[in-house]
A and B are shown apart, each in its own frame.
Chain A
Amino acid sequence: MTHSHHAISARSAGHLACERCGAVFPLSQEGQPCTRCDHNLRSRDMRSMQKVWAWWLVGVMCYIPANLEPMLRTRTLVHTSEDTIVAGAIALMHHGDYGVAAIILIASVGIPVAKFAAVAYLALSVRGVGKMAPGRRQHLYELVEYIGRWSMIDVFVVAILSALVQLNVAASISPGPAALTFALSVIFTMLAAQSFDSRLIWDTLGDDVQNDAPDADLQKKERP
């Protein structure tokens, strides 16, 4: 990475930043509370990996029953059906609603599985597994953090449908047990990603010899 030569980590310059408010202190303050926000100062979260793996594991454990049990129970005059996540998406495809089926499949299967893989890869990469450059891994991490929440959409759909489709004998929809396990799986995976200390990604780079910290880059901001 060529642009890494412009940066020096706070840690090797003898500083640390509060993870919560960003205030900068000398490294000797590690373990003390931040004078600005009271958060315990630490240059790196050493227990980060344990927390990541613990949340990751419960997340995976919840995701399995979430796919085996029904998400929705639909009852109409003619029939009653119980749909798992995948079966629900397939039913939508049979109706010709390919776009929505794709949203459901991506949000409920694609994203969660990719997320488990990405979090595991990031955690392993800190230990030296894989060859992806730190910049790319940082982007992967940000992607996981940003996209992870969107998996919750299926739970909301179940909530909306269950509240909406209560038409006496004509049709009714009620939630299945997978709604709970799926929601838990999303929440645990979000916690796994949040526990990850992304600064560890960059520690594998090492630092270049430089005496002073450079100015932050200035970039014109495009009008939103």
Chain B
Amino acid sequence: MTDNATNGQMIVCPHCDALYRVRMPEFGERAVCKRCHTVLIAPRAHAMIRIVALSVTNLILVIAALFLPFLQISRAGFSNATSLMDAVLAFATGPLFVLSLAVGALIVVVPMLRMLLSIYVLAPMAFDRKPLPASKRAFRLFEALKPWSMAEIFVLGCGVALVKVSALAQVHLGSAFWMMCVLVVVVLLQDNMMCRWSIWNALERRK
């Protein structure tokens, strides 16, 4: 991705519309907008293959967390365990069922879809193949969905719920909780790897 063909090409800061000529940074360096400090280009060595690997990891974690218990409580001889699936279905009965759909989308469907899209777009390029058909649309969707992927917020929500319930009953953390914690870290690592400018350029060049 560091070929000289990109040097001299124009780049515009997406946030403040400042225009620059590209001087491709080395791996580990980054090009930053002078007036609003938005990161414009941040190439990482072997970024594509690493992102794909992290996506696969994430996908496995979400699927496992879906069915394994998240939190368990007990009180007065009664006990109950909750998986991610149960949390999604919490509103399923009654007038709040739309909320079930929203929660399911935000904490399961959108994160999983984003992982699948990133694998679809980046895996062929990681192995020096041509991008698959509709890769650009897939990457577009991947970017648009970013703010709507809320797994990390859900994990903090679990922490809060834990404290809220502790007055009412005894609570134990389940294995899925720790999986989601790992997931949060993996998502952060992945965002750090992602250089949208380089990916769009690669999609354009290799079509």
Contacts and interface: CB of A to CB of B under 8 A. Distances in A.
Interface of A: 1, 3-4, 6-11, 13, 15-17, 19-24, 36-39, 43, 74, 76-77, 92, 95, 97, 99-100, 103-104, 134-135, 138, 142, 145, 148-150, 152-171, 175, 177, 179-180, 183, 187, 190, 194, 198-199, 201-203, 212-221, 223-224
Contact of A100 (B11, B86, B150, B163): B163
B87 to A, nearest CB: 5
A198 B200 contact: no
B10 to A, nearest CB: 4
14 contacts: A7-B34, A22-B200, A24-B12, A95-B167, A99-B163, A156-B157, A163-B87, A164-B71, A164-B73, A180-B98, A180-B99, A215-B23, A216-B31, A216-B33
B45 to A, nearest CB: 12
B153 A135 contact: no
Nearest to A203: B17
Contacts, number: 250
B20 A157 contact: no
B21 A159 contact: no
Contacts of A92: 163-164
Nearest to B76: A170
Interface string B61-98: 00000000011011111111010001111110001101
A15 B16 contact: no
A183 B136 CA distance: 31
B50 interface: no
Contacts of A3: 34-35
A153 B156 contact: yes
B11 A24 contact: yes
Nearest to B99: A180
Contacts of A13: 19
A149 B78 contact: no
Given A6-B35, A150-B156, 14 more contacts: A15-B10, A36-B203, A37-B136, A76-B168, A134-B36, A135-B35, A149-B153, A156-B153, A159-B88, A164-B86, A175-B96, A216-B40, A219-B30, A219-B32
A9 B13 CA distance: 9
B160 interface: yes
Given A160-B161, A216-B40, A217-B32, A20 B140 contact: yes
Given A37-B140, A162-B90, A175-B99, A15 B82 contact: no
Contacts of B75: 167, 170-171
A22 B197 contact: yes
Given A155-B103, A161-B164, A166-B80, A175 B20 contact: no
Contacts of B78: 167-170
Contact of A22 (B18, B98, B196): B196
Contacts of B169: 165, 167, 170-171
B97 to A, nearest CB: 10
Interface string B52-68: 00000000000000000
